[in-house]
């Protein structure tokens, strides 16, 4: 069946099975910034924005893309022109192996679109479906708050004194 949608601002039209998982379709289209971790909706690595809403591409079927606008981390920014969230992740050491980073930045983007001045707790809650095995989450929360500040909505509260919650997340959800 013919499928038409927008991927990172570019029109896509192709003949494909409409019951194919979106994560598989995206990787076939060389959107390799979209990662598959668990494949069961648990890790957030496959996060995308569908019409601006944070969704998990491993739980979506191609048919759900018809006529819609899909954004991956590559659609947020590039190495030469990074989105403030992507730049903040790099500057704050919020990236180690990088496997979770596309999904994290997508989730952060969805958060800041809804809440431009999130507290640390709000950031942790918004990213609670995105798992990171490496960073311990503190630097990720720092990066999201720095990006919020750069985007013109400076966080109003001081850094949280609850790093235990974040470091504990290195073995599970934040
Ligand atoms: S691969 Fe989709 S949530 Fe883990
Ligand atoms: S940086 Fe390695 S999983 Fe997050």
- Examine the domain organization and report whether 116 and 95 are in the same domain: yes
Cβ of 112 closer than 6 Å to ligand 1, yes or no, is no
Ligand nearest to the CA of 40: 1
Distance, CA of 14 to CA of 3 (rounded, Å): 5
- Count the neighbouring beta carbons within 10 Å of the beta carbon of residue 117: 16
- What is the residue whose two structure tokens read 């979770």? 100
Tell me the pLDDT tens digit for each residue of 85-117.
999 999 999 999 999 999 999 999 999 999 999
Residue 16 in contact with ligand 2 by CB distance below 6 A: no
Strand residues in 51-120 grouped as ranges (E): 53-56, 69-71
Do 11 and 60 have their domain in common? Answer: yes
Q: Nearest-CA neighbor of 146 among 104, 84, 98?
A: 84
Residue 88 shares a structural domain with residue 153: yes
Q: 89 and 69 in one domain?
A: no
14 CB less than 6 Å from ligand 2? no
Mark whether 100 and 70 lie in a shared domain: no
Do 41 and 96 sit in the same domain of this protein? no
Comparing 45-49, 120-124, 162-166, the range with the smallest average pLDDT is 162-166
Residue ranges making up the domain that contains 133: 84-171
The contacts of residue 36 (CB under 8 Å, 6+ apart) are 23, 27, 45, 46, 58
Distance CA(145)–CA(160), nearest Å, equals 11
SS3 of 55, please? strand
158 pLDDT above the threshold of 60: no
Domain boundary among 76, 95, 117: 76
Residue 151 belongs to domain with CATH number: 1.10.150.120
Other C-beta atoms within 10 Å of 122: how many?
18
Check pLDDT > 80 for residue 166: no
Q: Provide the domain count of the chain.
A: 2
Q: Which of 50, 76, 102 delimits the end of a domain?
A: 76
How many beta carbons lie within 10 A of that of residue 173, not counting itself?
16
> Are 69 and 122 members of one domain?
no
Task: Please tell me whether residues 8 and 29 are part of one structural domain.
Answer: yes
The answer on 54 and 19 residing in a single domain is yes
* CA–CA gap between residue 67 and residue 37 (Å, rounded): 27
Average pLDDT of the segment spanning 79-84:
95
Same-domain check for residues 24 and 93: no
Does 149 lie in the same domain as 94? yes
The per-residue pLDDT for 22 is 98
Q: Which ligand is nearest to the CA of 26?
A: 1
Q: What is the mean pLDDT of the chain?
A: 91
CATH, residue 66 = 3.10.20.30
Of 70, 97, 92, residue with least CA distance to 150: 92
**Which helix H or strand E contains 14, and what residues bound it?**
strand 10-15
pLDDT digit string, tens, across residues 123-155? 999 999 999 999 899 999 999 999 999 998 544
């Amino acid at each position: 069946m013919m499928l038409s949608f927008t991927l990172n601002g570019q029109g896509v039209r192709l003949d494909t099975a409409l019951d194919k998982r979106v994560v598989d379709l995206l990787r076939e289209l060389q959107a390799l910034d979209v990662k598959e971790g668990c494949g069961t909706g648990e890790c957030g690595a496959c996060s995308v924005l569908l019409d601006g809403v944070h969704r998990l591409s491993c739980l979506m079927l191609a048919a759900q893309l018809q006529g819609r606008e899909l954004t991956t981390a590559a659609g947020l920014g590039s190495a030469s022109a990074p989105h403030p969230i992507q730049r903040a992740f790099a500057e704050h050491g919020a990236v180690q192996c990088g496997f979770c980073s596309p999904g994290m930045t997508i989730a952060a983007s969805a958060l800041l679109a809804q809440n431009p001045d999130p507290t640390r707790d709000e950031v942790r809650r918004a990213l609670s479906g995105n798992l990171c095995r490496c960073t311990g989450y503190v630097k990720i929360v720092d990066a999201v708050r720095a990006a919020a500040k750069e985007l013109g909505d400076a966080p109003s509260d001081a850094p949280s004194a609850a790093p235990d919650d974040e470091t504990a997340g290195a073995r599970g959800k934040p």
